[in-house]
Amino acid sequence: SGTSRPVRILHHVQKVAQYGDAQSVLSAVDSYCSKIEWAMNVGDLKGQILDAVVLETRPHYVLELGTYCGYSTVRIARLLPPGARLFSIEMNPQYAQVAREIIQHAGLDVDILVGCTSDLIPQLKKKLDIEKFDFVFIDHWKVSYLRDTKLLECDLLRPGSVLLADNVTCPGAPDYLHYMRTSPRYESQYFPSRLEYLSRGGGGALPGIKLLLNVT
C-alpha cells in the first residue's frame, strides 16, 4: 500500500469525523484501529485513565512526549480550559504532519515540536516562556522515559507536577518504573490496564508482533 498507517488513519478521520468535534475524531480513530488495523494510540480504555488524571490535575501547562497521530493529544487538549497550553514533541516528521491535521480536524490548538526529546527538552525553557509543566504525558520510546524524566527534573517540574506514562509494563520501561517507585521525589500509582485495541472481535492482527499478553 502506498500510504502509511498514520495517513490511512488521517483519511478515515477526515472521512467520518465531524470537523471541530474532538469526540468524533477520537471515536473515528478508535473504530478504525479496533476494526481495520491496529495502531499504537493510547486507545479508549487507557484513554479513560488519561482523561481522569487530566481532569483531576486541571493543568495549565502540559507536555506530551510522543505525538504519533495525535490521538492522546486530542484526548488531553479537549479537556483543557481556554488559555491552557499543550506542547507535544514528535521526532518523526510524517507522524507530526498527520497529527497536526488530526488535531486541526478536532478544532483544537496544540504546538507540535518536531525533534528528539533529549535535544528539545533542554531548550523548552528558553524557547517557550513557560516556567514549569503541571502535567506530562509520556508515550514515546520506552528506552527514553527515564533519561527524559531526569531532563525534565532539571527545571521544568515543580512540587505537585504530575507525570503519566503509557506502556510501563507493555512493551515496558522497567528502569523508569523502578525509579518512579523508589525515588523520594515521587508518589507513584500504577493503573493496571490492557494494551490498546486488543479486546476486539475480528479485525487485523498486531503489526507482526507475537504478543504474550501479561494482563495484570
Ligand X SMILES: COCc1ccccc1-c1cc(O)c2[nH]cnc(=O)c2c1
Catalytic site residue 214? Answer: no
| Binding flag, residue 209, ligand X (CB under 6 A) | yes
Q: Is 37 a catalytic residue?
A: no
Secondary structure (3-state) at 197: coil
Question: One of 37, 196, 210, 214 is an active-site residue; which one?
Answer: 196
Bond prior to 171 in cis (omega within 30° of 0): yes
- Reference 150, options 175, 128, 130; nearest CA is 175
- The candidate with the shortest Cα–Cα distance to 125, out of 90, 91, 155, is 155
Provide the strand spans (E) within the chain.
61-65, 85-90, 111-114, 135-138, 162-165
Footprint (CB under 5 A) of Mg ion, residues 41-70:
none
Contacting residues for 118 by C-beta, under 8 A, at least 6 apart: 144, 147, 148, 151
Residue 139 binds to ligand X (criterion: CB under 6 A): yes
- The one catalytic residue among 166, 175, 210, 214: 166
Q: Which of 30, 134, 139, 148 is catalytic?
A: 139
Give catalytic status of residue 119 as yes or no. no
Partner from ligand X, Mg ion, none binding residue 212, C-beta < 5-8 Å depending on class: none
Stretch that binds ligand X, among 13-21, 75-83, 177-185, 206-214 (CB under 6 A): 206-214
Q: What count of Cα atoms within 13 Å lies in the side-chain half-sphere of residue 138?
A: 25
In the beta sheet, which residues pair with residue 113?
Answer: 89
Q: Which of 34, 73, 161, 167 binds Mg ion (CB under 5 A)?
A: 167
Draw the binding track, 144-183, toward ligand X (x: CB under 6 A; -: no contact): ----------------------xx--xx------------
Nearer to ligand X, 141 or 186 (CB): 141
C-alpha grid cell for residue 119?
535535544
Q: Please tell me whether residue 139 binds Mg ion under the rule CB under 5 A.
A: yes
CA-based nearest residue to 105, from 4, 9, 202, 206: 9
- Annotation says 166 is catalytic: yes
Interacting span for Mg ion (CB under 5 A) from 10-18, 49-57, 97-105, 161-169: 161-169
- The full DSSP string for 25-76 is HHHHHHHHHHHT------HHHHHHHHHHHHHHH--SEEEEE--TTSHHHHHH
Residue 134 or 166 with smaller CB distance to ligand X: 166
Q: Which residues bind Mg ion (CB under 5 A)?
A: 139, 166-167
Q: Which residues bind ligand X (CB under 6 A)?
A: 40, 66, 139-140, 166-167, 170-171, 195-196, 206, 209, 211
Catalytic annotation, residues: 139, 142, 166-167, 196
